[in-house]
């Protein structure tokens, strides 16, 4: 019996070590962290749905930005026509300038730009020149936006949006 006790202890130790090693392992179906084939957060179909949704949202956001560019151009054309007729900026024109500023700030923000606080390169001589400068830059902004894709950032479009904003601020201060 003395000979059996050490053998039983060795066998018990081996069984204990084996059981410990086996319990530390988790199979792939129960969420093994070492399984590279398994997605951590979501099933494959769910991640595909999210990717498609993000893509559709990006396309929608880009289309909305182009619509804002068209709207900015229309507003600048309306202001130009109004100033040509009356030779001054009316209250309605100032409201349209505020609306134009909001739209162009949204466009610039979506492009990833910020305010550059520069002055207009060449100060317009009179109100008509300032309005023409505004309208020309709004048209240029729309052209730059049309050249972009939803995957790109256009430095030229950001600079043009800043030019439009400078013109708006200049016209707002012009009496």
Tell me the pLDDT tens digit for each residue of 137-159. 999 998 988 888 877 778 888 88
pLDDT at 96: 92
Burial of 76 (0-12, 13-18, 19+ CB in 10 A): buried
Could you give the percent of the chain with pLDDT greater than 70? 79
pLDDT at 170: 86
Query: Is the per-residue pLDDT at 33 higher than 80?
Result: no
pLDDT band at 28 (very low <50, low <70, confident <90, very high): very low
Residue with tokens 């399984």: 35
DSSP state of 29: G
Selection from 34-38, 122-126, 148-152, 168-172 with the highest mean pLDDT = 168-172
How large is the average pLDDT for residues 20-39?
A: 56
Query: How many CB atoms are closer than 10 A to CB 136?
Result: 16
pLDDT at 1: 62
Identify the helix (H) or strand (E) that includes residue 106.
Answer: helix 91-111
How large is the average pLDDT for residues 55-59?
A: 88
């Amino acid at each position: 019996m003395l000979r059996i006790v050490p053998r039983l202890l060795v066998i018990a130790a081996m069984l204990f070590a084996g059981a410990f090693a086996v319990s530390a392992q988790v199979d792939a179906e129960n969420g093994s962290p070492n399984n590279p084939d398994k997605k951590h957060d979501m099933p494959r179909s769910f991640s595909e749905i999210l990717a498609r949704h993000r893509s559709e949202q990006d396309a929608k956001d880009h289309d909305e930005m182009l619509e804002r560019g068209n709207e900015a151009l229309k507003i600048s054309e309306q202001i130009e026509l109004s100033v040509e007729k009356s030779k001054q900026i009316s209250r309605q024109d100032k409201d349209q300038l505020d609306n134009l500023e909001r739209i162009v700030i949204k466009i610039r923000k979506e492009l990833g730009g910020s305010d550059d606080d520069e002055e207009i390169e060449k100060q317009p001589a009179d109100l008509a020149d300032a309005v023409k400068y505004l309208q020309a830059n709004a048209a240029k902004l729309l052209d730059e936006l049309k050249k972009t894709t939803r995957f790109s950032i256009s430095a030229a479009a950001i600079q043009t949006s800043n030019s439009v904003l400078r013109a708006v601020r200049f016209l707002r201060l012009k009496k």
